[in-house]
Amino acid sequence: MTIYFYKVWQPYGCFSNFSPHSIEIQGNYWLTVEHYYQAQKFVGSVDAVIIPIIRASKTPEEAAALGRCSSRKLRPDWDLVKTTVMREAVLIKFLTHADIRETLLNTGNEILVENSPCDYFWGCGADKTGQNHLGKILMSVREEIRKLQLLSVCSSECLENRS
């Protein structure tokens, strides 16, 4: 089975980057993954003044609109780093919030797809042929969290055996 998600108020809305789950990265708080992701477009760019404004946005829609404004200059390496930036933020989101971590882990090995009608990079696009990078990141984060949980079970068993 494939699990499709997109809008926050639809099923599996917590997988959307617009979901209201804050993250802390290097001492800064971001209301949503989308706030962080949009701001990273301008790190080291001549338009870096926009970063705190994006961070202070009241909603992820507002943050996305600021980050997508085509008159601003993106950092030159943005296309190279954007999936790494996204993965880090999504991993931190699911490590931070236990309830949605359970929702993610409970999807088993189902395929996760961002059902965006217009985004062929992060989502599957209108005709479902898109690259679905957000879905791929969620599946890889799901795997990573499972490994981390196994590690912590093993290390606590190990500590118990020693005492």
Ligand X SMILES: Nc1c(N[C@@H]2O[C@H](COP(=O)(O)O)[C@@H](O)[C@H]2O)[nH]c(=O)[nH]c1=O
Query: Which CB atom, from 9 or from 163, has the smaller least distance to ligand X?
Result: 9
Told to check if 73 binds ligand X by CB under 6 A, we report no
Q: What angle is formed at CA 67 by the lines to CA 65 and CA 72, rounded to 5 degrees?
A: 115
Residue among 15 and 97 whose Cβ is closer to ligand X = 15
Site string for ligand X, 79-118 (x = CB under 6 A): -----------------------------------x-x--
Residue 23 is inside which H or E element, if any? strand 23-25
Phi/psi of residue 28, each to 5°? -105, 140
| Minimum gap (Å) between residue 18 Cβ and ligand X | 5
- Selected binder of ligand X within 4, 12, 16, 63 (CB under 6 A): 16
Is residue 6 classed as helix, strand or coil in its secondary structure?
A: coil
How far apart CA 42 and CA 146 sit, in angstroms, is 33
Residue with tokens 């997988």: 15
Residue 18 near ligand X by CB under 6 A: yes
CA angle, 85 then 96 then 59, to 5°: 65
Single residue of 11, 52, 53, 68 touching ligand X by CB under 6 A: 68
Q: Which residues of the chain form contacts with ligand X (CB under 6 A)? A: 6-7, 16-18, 34, 37, 64, 67-68, 114, 116, 119, 122, 134
